[in-house]
Amino acid sequence: MRILMLVSSMHAGGAERVAATLVSAWAERGDAVTLTPTYSSKGTCFYPLSDKVELAWLADIAGTRDSGAMAAFKRLLALRRHIRDTKPDVVVSFLTNVNVAAILATRGLGVPLIVCERTNPVAETTTGTVWRKLRRLLYPRADMVTVQAEDTAGPFSRQVPGIKRLAVIPNPLPAPLLDAPRVSQREDDGPRELLAMGRLVSDKQFDLLIDVFAQLAPSNPDWNLRIWGEGPERAALEAQIARLGLASRISLPGRTETPWDELARGQAFVLSSLVEGFPNVLLEAMSLGLPCVAFDCPSGPREMTRDGQDALLVPAGDRDVLRDALQRVMGDLSLRRQLGERGATAVRHRYALASVLSEWDELFEAVQEGR
């Protein structure tokens, strides 16, 4: 099968990680796969790709890296030519802006198109009004639209009426995590790390997490908080940490190119987000055997943790319950071991790459047959 994957960029991010995992798996099993980042600049590929994947930057194809309306129109025409030249059996696109371009570029070409929302399109706060209107107008023209969690499907179908086919398909665990060693809980009195990871943006609510940890720090001197990631909230978070006098207990080391290695050095993980689409980092932390505490935010954590069976699920935004849940995990070695083992076993089974690839194959078959 010839598959063309469109994604905004290949910088560090959840959508990019999933794109790299899928295209590499498809190529390794024998599909002819082209990955095309549509970003106006060329950029770099943060995640490893199979050498069997053809990487084609739209900026090179269009011959421009300029921004603005005319440059965007030129890239749209170039994308249409690229699709004709590639002759894919199916086009898969990630993220709202890329999805809109893909729908316009494939119009009249007779190529099946699957557009994929990578955030929670109902609850997320970063998509502007224009993109929301375009999504509502154009998504019914795609052959299939996918979301990542069951609790997103119903609200999204009401938000964007007229979608031909709406499917739920989760993110896969990258193959290396299926066999990775599980975190071993320390029994000595040495320092332990509570980990968080994500872009330093307001939706991640790291300011809330820092305030909660500040309440726990005096009674848990053997625990430190480490928040991996980079973003526009760095200065405000650093000032908050300094104001609380916790510079020796809370660190913001920045972005890491080895996130799984850093997760494996922790003893617990916390997700404090206001909203998620399908939090890859929670899935990865659970797969490594880290005991996890997560806000029950829309969407993903409830489904991923089986309604809180495999992690401690906290009412979204409730600081007091989050504090108490973290205290339970930080203060109970047996609980950490139980949650870590149960979570790893569950997600390694439910989100195995082979299982998710089978779900994708069903989608490919459906759009090719016009079902």
Q: What is the mean pLDDT of the chain?
A: 93
Residue 196 and residue 262 in contact, taking contact as beta carbons nearer than 8 Å: no
Q: What is the pLDDT of residues 143-189, one digit of tens each?
A: 999 998 888 888 888 889 999 999 999 999 988 899 999 999 988 88
The pLDDT score that the predictor gives to residue 84 is 96
Q: Do domains 2-172+352-369 and 176-350 have the same CATH topology?
A: yes
Categorize the per-residue pLDDT at 14 as very low, low, confident or very high, splitting at 50, 70 and 90: confident
Q: What is the pLDDT of residues 358-367, one digit of tens each?
A: 999 999 999 9
- The domain segmentation of the chain, as residue ranges, is 2-172+352-369, 176-350
pLDDT at 292 over 70: yes
Categorize the per-residue pLDDT at 42 as very low, low, confident or very high, splitting at 50, 70 and 90: low
**Dist. CA 250–CA 207, nearest whole Å:** 12
pLDDT at 120 over 80: no
Categorize the per-residue pLDDT at 298 as very low, low, confident or very high, splitting at 50, 70 and 90: confident
Categorize the per-residue pLDDT at 31 as very low, low, confident or very high, splitting at 50, 70 and 90: very high
Q: Any idea which architecture 2-172+352-369 has in CATH?
A: 3-Layer(aba) Sandwich (3.40)
Domain spanning 176-350, CATH class: alpha beta
pTM of structure: 0.82
